[in-house]
């Protein structure tokens, strides 16, 4: 059984996928304070990454760690949005899902910090 909402493919699908992604980024920036803060930190650290890197690979690793934090934050925000759409009441499983998403963000940030410290002091 196929979902009637799935597209057939082709250039129209690609165009719509790009639009959906733009909408998601715009929504995250508008509604998610943590995402805005992480974007600001990434914007500040991006030129620093380019300056301190000894190679393209180091720059890619440093910048990749920042993008990874944003990626995980987007997934966490998606989980929270779906959970809030289901109910705003206290529910132990929804609380667990939100906590798990938050833990994923924490681990992504810890990985980024470790990556930066390794490149700077390693």
The CB-based long-range contact list for 59-62 (8 Å cut-off, 24+ gap) reads 61/115, 61/119, 62/115, 62/116, 62/119
106: tokens are: 């924490």
Helices assigned H by DSSP within the chain = 10-31, 33-52, 56-86, 92-121
Whose CA is closest to 66, among 39, 102, 94?
A: 39
Tell me whether residue 73 is one of the annotated catalytic residues.
yes
The active-site residue, picked from 32, 38, 58, 73, is: 73
Main-chain dihedrals φ then ψ at residue 90, nearest 5 degrees: -65, 130
List active site positions. 73
């Amino acid at each position: 059984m196929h979902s009637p909402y799935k597209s057939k493919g082709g250039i129209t699908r690609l165009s719509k996928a790009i639009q959906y992604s733009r909408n998601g980024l715009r929504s995250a920036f508008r509604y998610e304070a943590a995402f805005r803060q992480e974007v600001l930190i990434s914007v500040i650290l991006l030129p620093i990454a380019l300056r301190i890197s000894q190679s393209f690979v180091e720059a890619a690793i440093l910048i990749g760690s920042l993008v990874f934090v944003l990626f995980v934050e987007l997934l966490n925000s998606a989980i929270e949005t779906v959970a809030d759409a289901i109910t705003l009441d206290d529910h132990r499983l929804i609380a667990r899902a939100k906590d798990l998403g938050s833990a994923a963000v924490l681990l992504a940030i810890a990985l980024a910090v470790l990556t930066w410290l390794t490149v700077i002091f390693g």
